[in-house]
Amino acid sequence: MDKINQTFTSEFLLLGFSGYPKLEIMYFVLILVMYLVILTGNGVLIIASIFDSRLHTPMYFFLGNLSFLDICYTSSSVPSTLVSLISKKRNIPFSGCAVQMFFGFAMGSTECFLLGMMAFDRYVAICNPLRYPIIMSKVVYVLMASVSWLSGGINSIVQTSLAMQLPFCGNNVINHFTCEILAVLKLACADISLNIITMVISNMAFLVLPLIVIFFSYMFILYTILRMNSATGRRKAFSTCSAHLTVVIIFYGTIFFMYAKPKSQEFPGDDKLQTSDKLISLFYGVVTPMLNPIIYSLRNKDVKIAVKYLLNQKAIHYIKRSSGERKK
């Protein structure tokens, strides 16, 4: 009888913030502005890290990867969210939901590893400065980034495949504004024990392990900084780490609320809890990628110089082109 009652779900319906229709226009404008800031800020950081030779170092290579990742992650979900807010078109095909889930999980997993790699890079730079060029050679840091992307992709393939092969029994209403994996699992009418087990393993590998690397890296960094005799040296060391540490606190503080424990056991009638989950997810999905380039730009002198240089070069090019057109 169970097999007879199970029907194939061809599409899902995303509720989003439909419970607050008067606020949807405000959400639309707010998310659109933040999305444009994400594209502009992260795009400028990527261009600066590529074209400015002063930023051709492991730290800025990882920062460029982080910016590219933020653009990919937000572009996989924000446009559809904006469309649903302005047009009330809330349905998404089954395949589209799977793609959205894949990119969301892949980008999140990859970012965890990248933040761990960046912490290790800062540890080597501050605690072993003489060996830094040898330990963090181009081959090494490119390999580190590649492992982050590959492992994040594999993890997402496993999680997405397990989630999307579950029977949904005709219940296709997702109480979320994206195809977030925890929201989708709530619709399954089958045992999700395997999904929970794999997510716990994933949490250990992609949340806890990088966090341990970050924690011990900064413990050694703090110990090294406190032993420095020069106040200038201590200030410079703190400034190179403060931006990364700020991003780590915001990222992990948000993501632990979302994925540190499976939420498939929550009561469906708890609307306040579900609304708070949506807002936390929105913060993680839009606000955090928007803050990353701002934090790194404000707290990093090299990035400031590189961005100003690029803007000046663009302004000079525009002036030359305008003067050339006038002469003609």
* Cα-based angle 272, 277, 281 (whole degrees, multiple of 5): 150
User: pLDDT tens-digit profile of 33-69?
Assistant: 999 999 998 998 898 888 878 888 898 899 999 999 9
Does position 145 have pLDDT exceeding 80, yes or no?
Answer: yes
Does position 317 have pLDDT exceeding 80, yes or no?
Answer: no
Q: What is the pLDDT of residue 5?
A: 45
- Are 117 and 215 in contact by the 8 Å Cβ rule? The answer is no
* 316 vs 107, more confident: 107
Q: What is the pLDDT of residue 271?
A: 52
User: pLDDT tens-digit profile of 178-220?
Assistant: 888 888 888 888 889 999 999 999 989 998 999 999 999 999 9
Does position 301 have pLDDT exceeding 80, yes or no?
Answer: no
- Are 219 and 197 in contact by the 8 Å Cβ rule? The answer is no
Q: Which helix (H) or strand (E) holds 209?
A: helix 209-226
Q: What is the pLDDT of residue 268?
A: 45
Q: What is the pLDDT of residue 111?
A: 92
Does position 326 have pLDDT exceeding 70, yes or no?
Answer: no
Q: What is the pLDDT of residue 171?
A: 73
Rounded CA separation 322/318 (Å): 6
Q: What is the pLDDT of residue 134?
A: 93
Percent of the chain with pLDDT over 70: 80
Does position 16 have pLDDT exceeding 60, yes or no?
Answer: yes
92 band by pLDDT with thresholds 50, 70 and 90: confident
Q: What is the pLDDT of residue 24?
A: 78
List the 91-93 sheet strands across, edge first: 91-93, 11-14, 173-174
Q: Which residues contact 94 (CB under 8 A, 6 or more apart)?
A: 9, 10, 11, 12, 164
Q: What is the pLDDT of residue 265?
A: 44
Does position 315 have pLDDT exceeding 90, yes or no?
Answer: no
Q: Which residues contact 38 (CB under 8 A, 6 or more apart)?
A: 70, 71, 74, 286, 289, 290, 293
* 37 vs 238, more confident: 37
Percent of the chain with pLDDT over 90: 34
Q: What is the pLDDT of residue 187?
A: 85
Q: What is the pLDDT of residue 70?
A: 93
Average per-residue pLDDT for the chain: 82
Does position 245 have pLDDT exceeding 70, yes or no?
Answer: yes
- Give the rounded distance of the alpha carbon of 85 from its chain centre: 22
Rounded CA separation 75/92 (Å): 15
Does position 292 have pLDDT exceeding 80, yes or no?
Answer: yes
pTM, to two decimals: 0.84
264 band by pLDDT with thresholds 50, 70 and 90: very low
Nearest-CA neighbor of 307 among 131, 119, 60? 60
Place of tokens 């690397």: 213
Phi, psi (degrees; rounded to nearest 5) at 216: -70, -35
